[in-house]
Amino acid sequence: MSTPATSHPRTAVITGGAGDLAQAIAAELQCAGFTVLAPGRAAMDVTCADSVRAFFATLTGLDLLINNAGVCCDASTLKMSEADFDHVVNVNLKGAFFTTQAAVKLMSRQRHGHIINIGSYSALSGPAGQANYAAAKAGLIGLTQSTAKEYGPRNIRANCILPGFLDTKMTRHLIEDAARKDDLLGSHVLGRLNSPQDAARFIAFLQSMENVSGQVFQLDSRIRRWS
């Protein structure tokens, strides 16, 4: 099914808009002709349903939602507080659920739209010290596939991107640790990492692939066993 013509300019919303990946995606989509809204927490708190509804109420149409808002609060399971577990799940997973709800209302009326969830390899590997983050990102894959199945008949797509370990404000402290960086690079068969711009280019390309939905795309060179 081809994407029907719309009466509004192509509009994209990127949550967690102040982040390095969000800014790279915004630049790439703007080059592709999108009007891009990249709200930070002050403009839209994804953990608050009322805040999400208020933001989306200002839109007359929506072509692309990118659920990029994310946070880490790493600790071993015994040392992880309930507050840190809840915070990570609320931002990474529940926030994506709230924005997806708001987006599909607009997209259903248009009979087209695309939701891209920014996942993580942690969802597949379950690293030590990331029970909250791994659980949230694994849930995001489930949310992606359920959304694709529910709303595919309305010409709404949903996909999940695992962009790889990126040099961003959230992870830079790990890359700057020489021992950790060596271990990290050693887990990649190519021995190198993506940049936010690399991931952004893939996302812009995926947006143009109108027949792709319900898929999970791992963008780095870590290799895992088939399940």
Q: Measured between alpha carbons, how far is 55 from 51 in angstroms, rounded to an integer?
A: 6
* Residues comprising the chain, all counted: 227
Amino acid in the structure at residue 131: A
Q: Measured between alpha carbons, how far is 113 from 13 in angstroms, rounded to an integer?
A: 12
Q: Measured between alpha carbons, how far is 34 from 51 in angstroms, rounded to an integer?
A: 24
Please list, residue by residue across 90-120, b when 16 or more beta carbons sit within 10 angstroms of its beta carbon and e when fewer do.
bbbbbbbbbbbebbbebbeebebbbbbbbbb
Residue 151 annotated among the catalytic residues of the structure: no
For residue 187, how many other CB atoms are within 10 A of its CB? 14
Residue 25 in contact with residue 32, Cβ under 8 Å? no
Compute the Cα dihedral for 208, 210, 212, 214 and give only its sign: positive
Of residues 34, 55, 133, 165, which has the active-site annotation? 133
Q: Measured between alpha carbons, how far is 110 from 138 in angstroms, rounded to an integer?
A: 29
Residue 114 in contact with residue 160, Cβ under 8 Å? no
Q: Measured between alpha carbons, how far is 92 from 107 in angstroms, rounded to an integer?
A: 22
Q: Cite the active site residues.
A: 133
